[in-house]
Amino acid sequence: MTSFSGKTLEAIDYAAELICKAKHIVALTGAGISTPSGIPDFRSEGKGLWAKDEPLEVASQTTFRTHPEKFFEWFRPLASSIFEAQPNEAHQALAALEQQGKLQAIITQNIDILHQKAGSARVIEMHGTLATLTCTQCYKKFEYHKYLNAFIESDLLPHCSICGAILKPDVILFGEQLPQKAWHEAQAESRKCDLMMVIGSSLEVLPVAGLPMQAVDRGAHLIIINNSPTYISVRADINIYEDVAHIVPAISQLVLNHER
């Protein structure tokens, strides 16, 4: 059992109170919700993926088009981490809130499918997904299981079984636009909600980082659970700078106990 300070317990209680009173709740999640599952994040100082590699050199649309093998060489260890990862307590807690009718949508910056694995049904993926790959020539979509497993285990680059062209994981690379359907859904949810929870995101990547501002400008409450402050922390009702895998389940349990 995790022990919390008195200040943190007060914040957890207040967060649960806001959730119980809210009518339309949206969660915005970033890499910090998945690091407890063993997936490295991108921007942590000294240990994030971008501390080791220049993103435009390995994860850009241009690199994939001209040197796809360079992209896949960089991508292989990340894909392996994601392929092996399992949802942690924070993912499961959000799924439980959704199943209880307390959470209407999850907007995620992650590509790891862990929300879906945990049982969440309404997940808006802003930066794409590792669940599918698309042929770069005939645009046929394929499920990730067969291709990524062979890629991770044998370093076999994924090729289309129909036309033979290389397959691209359906993740958003530098130089690509956000998926428009997801972006419109995320904006609509941010403007509709009366409570937004930001979980494990430093809110440094636009345009997704602007969604909490759209929510609070329309009167929504804001809860931030992250390891460090964000640009909008000053406008949040609650800021909890602790491990999301401990805090989110604690809040969820209080809400679910209250609802019973």
| Ordered strands of the 167-171 beta sheet | 141-143, 128-135, 167-171
Select which of 91, 115, 127, 246 is catalytic: 127
Residue 19 has pLDDT above 80, yes or no: yes
Residue 248: closest CA among 240, 260, 257: 240
pLDDT of residue 13: 97
As assigned by CATH, the class of the 44-84+130-171 domain is alpha beta
DSSP class per residue in the chain = -----HHHHHHHHHHHHHHHH-SSEEEEE-GGGTGGGT---S-STTTSGGGTS-HHHHSBHHHHHH-HHHHHHHHHHHHHHHHH----HHHHHHHHHHHTT---EEEE---S-HHHHHT-S-EEETTEEEEEEEETTT--EEEHHHHHHHHHHH-PPPB-TTT-PBEEEEEPPBTPPPPHHHHHHHHHHHHH-SEEEEES----STTGGGHHHHHHHTT-EEEEESSS--TTGGG-SEEE-S-HHHHHHHHHHHHHHHH-
Average confidence (pLDDT) over 180-186: 97
pLDDT of residue 245: 97
What is the pTM for the complete model shown? 0.91
Does the active-site annotation cover 115?
Answer: no
Query: Quick one: 1-39+87-127+179-260 is in which CATH superfamily?
Result: TPP-binding domain (3.40.50.1220)
| Whether 244 contacts 90, CB under 8 Å | yes
* In the chain, domain spans: 1-39+87-127+179-260, 44-84+130-171
Residue 223 has pLDDT above 70, yes or no: yes
pLDDT of residue 75: 84
130-149: pLDDT as tens digits: 899 999 999 999 998 777 77
